[in-house]
Amino acid sequence: MNITVRTRCVISFLILTTIALGVVAVYLEETLGEWSDAHVLSELRRYALTARALLEAQEEPLHNATVDALANLLGQDLTVRVTIIAADGTVMGDSLLDGEDLIAMENHAQRPEVLAAWQEGFGVNKHFSTTLSRPMLYVALPFHHVLGTSGVVRTAISLHDVQAIHTRLDWALFIGGLLFIAIWIPMSNLSTRWTFQPLRFIAAQVHSMVRGTQTSRLPVHGNDTLAGLATSLNLLAEEKEDMLTLLAHQKEQMTAVLQSMSEGVIAIDSQQQITLMNRSAIELLQLQENGLGRPIQQALPAPVIAALPLDTQSKVVHPHQEFTLPGPPERQLLAFITPLHGHPGSLIVLRDVTERRRLDRIQREFVANVSHELRTPISIIQASAQTLRESALEDPEYSRILTVAMERNAYRLGKIVADLLELSRLEANRDPVALHSFALLPLVEEAVALLQENADEKAITIQIALTEQSMVLTHPDLLHRILANFLDNAIKYTPAGSRLLVQLKPHGQRQRLEVIDNGQGIAPHHREHIFERFYRVDPGQNRHMGGTGLGLAIVKHLAERMGAEVGVEEVQPHGSLFWLAFPHTS
């Protein structure tokens, strides 16, 4: 049951007041009871003294009729009984009995109050009256008549009457207590309302502060306890605002850090429900929403769930796991799983290692390709030298064949080393070069003239479809090397008697220099790898023609330094088109 503080105070005060009233009532009842008994005894004694005075003042001898008449006179108060007893114990008069009833009364000489009156001059006793059949309180005094007659005057009152007095006192106390409570309850209610009004105001203000709807401080009046409380609450409110500001700032910093991380971060609780997910995780997993509050089985893709090494209690089985996420594009992800310190659950960090694995693969392939490319000419040179040393020096014709082979493979070996050094230099220096506007026709004619002899050997015609007004933004040396490589490859892999075309075509907002041949062409699955190092469409034919497999990789790096792009396309019905897209001039 919900009881307000004010109601509790009222109830507490009521209980305490009731207990206090009870204690006071018991005390008053005892005190008033004793006072009432003393008052009754005093009244009975006063009656007895009056009776004795009247008896002793009689001038005539005391006869039973005279004494009984006096007793009747004194006992006119119906609550008090007056009895006059002779010295021998004979009842001479009684205010309640007359005639035969009086004569029939038993002797009272041995009554305790009568004996005490003779012995001590005053007797008090309570006992059951056989005459009246009720308990009575008795007071007795001795008297002495001037004519020598002695006796005892006894006054009495019924104990029922005394108890009735006590009952009236108890009822008076009870009714007084009820009246006090009836008046005290509304008065205490008003008093507590007045007392708690400032507290209710402070409580309302504090509630508003906690909910954030109140920004002003509590008013402070005076220097009492409530003023001290208001001051303390104001200090707490200021500390709370400072703490909330600090927490908000820290949260913003943490959110900014998490959202700026390239790694995906996912936090899950002990029930494997997502409690945090940053932007990188959403992008890496290609999710439509962050999935907060949802189980990871529902929020994350199935391949991710299958790869994450977690048990049903979110305990880490393995610290990391690498897996492939289907595409397109297909990506390689590395997941690090660690338990949260001081909290149930785990933290998952996702890192995209697709490019790293691709570079690792390229590096492995590069090392394997370099080893393979170098092994062949070195083996031929080594075998030729060994043959010459052992037996072929005396045979001029055979020696010439071996030395030619050694020279050819030494040249090939030097070409591979030179291309590797060139490729390394280009990869180490990726700074762009200064570009200027040049007329394209002279640069193309220079490159064609350099390879014209090779073209003439295969009766290949090179056609230049350019005008003198064709201007491009380029670097002449880099362009010369790129164009020479395109023409050299086209001459090598184009059948004798073919025709090559060099032209400049607009492509979107850029211009594209194209070298077109009508050779056998390049299959689609080879075109996307043709600019990779040591990649060959036909390895046997390439080696036979003296290629290293590095030329187009060098071309790609040269184009990147100019801010240009290179590519290859298919030509119908057969042939290839190698292109160089110049940087945009505007």
Q: Which pLDDT value is given to residue 103?
A: 78
Considering the domain architecture, whether residues 400 and 474 belong to the same structural domain is answered as: no
Rounded Cα distance, 419 and 422, in Å: 5
Considering the domain architecture, whether residues 157 and 27 belong to the same structural domain is answered as: yes
pLDDT band with cut points at 50, 70 and 90 for residue 5: low
Look at residue 132 and tell me if it is in a domain: yes
Please give the distance of CA 527 from its chain centroid, rounded to a whole number: 54
Considering the domain architecture, whether residues 451 and 469 belong to the same structural domain is answered as: yes
Considering the domain architecture, whether residues 362 and 492 belong to the same structural domain is answered as: no
Q: Which pLDDT value is given to residue 10?
A: 67
Considering the domain architecture, whether residues 249 and 294 belong to the same structural domain is answered as: no
Look at residue 200 and tell me if it is in a domain: no
Considering the domain architecture, whether residues 10 and 127 belong to the same structural domain is answered as: yes
The domain tally of the chain equals 5
Please give the distance of CA 145 from its chain centroid, rounded to a whole number: 107
Average pLDDT, stretch 204-233?
A: 66
Look at residue 1 and tell me if it is in a domain: no
Look at residue 120 and tell me if it is in a domain: yes
pLDDT band with cut points at 50, 70 and 90 for residue 29: low
Is the pLDDT at 312 greater than 50, yes or no?
Answer: no
Share of the chain above pLDDT 70, in %: 83
Token digits of residue 118: 């003779």
pLDDT band with cut points at 50, 70 and 90 for residue 214: low
Average pLDDT, stretch 288-304?
A: 79
Residue 198 and residue 221 in contact, taking contact as beta carbons nearer than 8 Å: no
Among the candidates 411, 428, 445, a domain finishes at 428
What's the one-letter identity of residue 271?
Q
Closest CA to 408 of 419, 400, 397: 400
Considering the domain architecture, whether residues 159 and 11 belong to the same structural domain is answered as: yes
Token digits of residue 348: 């998952």
Residue whose entry in the numeric block shows the structure tokens 């030179």: 418
Its domain, for residue 135, covers 6-166
Q: Which pLDDT value is given to residue 135?
A: 81
Token digits of residue 105: 């009364």
What CATH number should be reported for the domain holding residue 306?
3.30.450
Q: Which pLDDT value is given to residue 314?
A: 47
Considering the domain architecture, whether residues 25 and 154 belong to the same structural domain is answered as: yes
Instruction: Between 481 and 232, name the one with better pLDDT.
Output: 481
What CATH number should be reported for the domain holding residue 362?
1.10.287.130
H or E element that contains 173: helix 159-211
Is the pLDDT at 44 greater than 90, yes or no?
Answer: no
Q: Which pLDDT value is given to residue 4?
A: 64
Q: Is 50 helix (H, G, I), strand (E, B) or coil?
A: helix
Average pLDDT, stretch 414-422?
A: 77
What are the CB-based long-range contacts (under 8 Å, 24+) for 332-341? 332/357, 333/284, 333/304, 333/307, 335/304, 335/307, 335/308, 337/308, 337/309, 337/310, 339/315, 340/267
Q: What is the per-residue pLDDT across 245-274, written as a single tens digit (0 to 9) for each?
A: 888 888 788 777 777 787 888 888 888 888
Q: Which pLDDT value is given to residue 578?
A: 93
Say how many CA atoms lie within 13 Å of 485 toward its Cβ. 24
Residues 6+ apart with CB under 8 A from 113: 123, 124, 125, 138, 139, 140, 154
DSSP 584: P
Residue whose entry in the numeric block shows the structure tokens 């030509």: 571
What's the Cα-to-Cα distance from 563 to each of 202, 502, 559, rounded to whole Å? 71, 21, 6
- Where are any strands of DSSP class E within 71-176? 80-86, 91-94, 123-129, 134-144, 150-158
Q: Strand order in 274-277's β-sheet? A: 274-277, 264-268, 346-352, 331-339, 320-325
H or E element that contains 90: none
Considering the domain architecture, whether residues 49 and 156 belong to the same structural domain is answered as: yes
Q: Which pLDDT value is given to residue 547?
A: 58
What CATH number should be reported for the domain holding residue 82?
3.30.450.20
Rounded Cα distance, 326 and 221, in Å: 71
CA angle 187, 193, 197 (to 5 degrees): 155
Token digits of residue 581: 């897209």
Q: Which pLDDT value is given to residue 539?
A: 53
Look at residue 174 and tell me if it is in a domain: no
| pLDDT, mean over the chain | 79
Closest CA to 503 of 475, 463, 473: 463
Average pLDDT, stretch 549-559?
A: 84
Rounded Cα distance, 128 and 482, in Å: 146
Q: Which residues pair with 455 in a beta bridge?
A: none
Which range, of 202-211, 319-328, 559-568, 577-586, averages the lowest pLDDT? 202-211
Considering the domain architecture, whether residues 225 and 97 belong to the same structural domain is answered as: no
Residue 405 and residue 384 in contact, taking contact as beta carbons nearer than 8 Å: yes
Look at residue 499 and tell me if it is in a domain: yes
Considering the domain architecture, whether residues 526 and 514 belong to the same structural domain is answered as: yes
DSSP 392: G
pLDDT band with cut points at 50, 70 and 90 for residue 32: low
Token digits of residue 150: 């002695």
Q: State the SS3 of 541-561.
A: HHHHCCCCCCHHHHHHHHHHH
pLDDT band with cut points at 50, 70 and 90 for residue 409: confident
What CATH number should be reported for the domain holding residue 567?
3.30.565.10
Considering the domain architecture, whether residues 266 and 236 belong to the same structural domain is answered as: no
Helix axes 551-561, 476-493, angle to 10 degrees: 150
Helix axes 5-57, 64-74, angle to 10 degrees: 150
Is the pLDDT at 416 greater than 60, yes or no?
Answer: yes
Rounded Cα distance, 581 and 472, in Å: 10
Q: State the SS3 of 420-441.
A: HHHHHHHHHCCCCCCCEEEEHH
Look at residue 191 and tell me if it is in a domain: no
Q: What is the per-residue pLDDT across 87-139, written as a single tens digit (0 to 9) for each?
A: 888 888 888 887 777 777 888 888 888 888 888 888 888 877 776 677 888 88
Q: Which pLDDT value is given to residue 223?
A: 65
Rounded Cα distance, 277 and 279, in Å: 7
Average pLDDT, stretch 453-474?
A: 90
Q: What is the per-residue pLDDT across 468-526, written as a single tens digit (0 to 9) for each?
A: 888 998 989 889 989 999 999 899 888 898 999 999 998 888 899 999 998 888 888 88
Is the pLDDT at 343 greater than 90, yes or no?
Answer: no
DSSP 329: S
What's the one-letter identity of residue 264?
G
Q: What is the per-residue pLDDT across 68-87, written as a single tens digit (0 to 9) for each?
A: 787 777 777 657 888 888 88
Rounded Cα distance, 143 and 130, in Å: 25
Is the pLDDT at 581 greater than 70, yes or no?
Answer: yes
Look at residue 517 and tell me if it is in a domain: yes
Residue 390 and residue 522 in contact, taking contact as beta carbons nearer than 8 Å: no
Share of the chain above pLDDT 90, in %: 9
Which backbone phi and psi does 143 adopt, to 5 degrees? -135, 160
Q: Which pLDDT value is given to residue 3?
A: 61
Among the candidates 106, 139, 166, a domain finishes at 166
Which range, of 100-104, 306-310, 395-399, 476-480, averages the lowest pLDDT? 306-310
Closest CA to 90 of 65, 69, 107, 72: 107
**Omega before residue 339 within 30° of 0, cis:** no
Residue whose entry in the numeric block shows the structure tokens 């390879």: 451
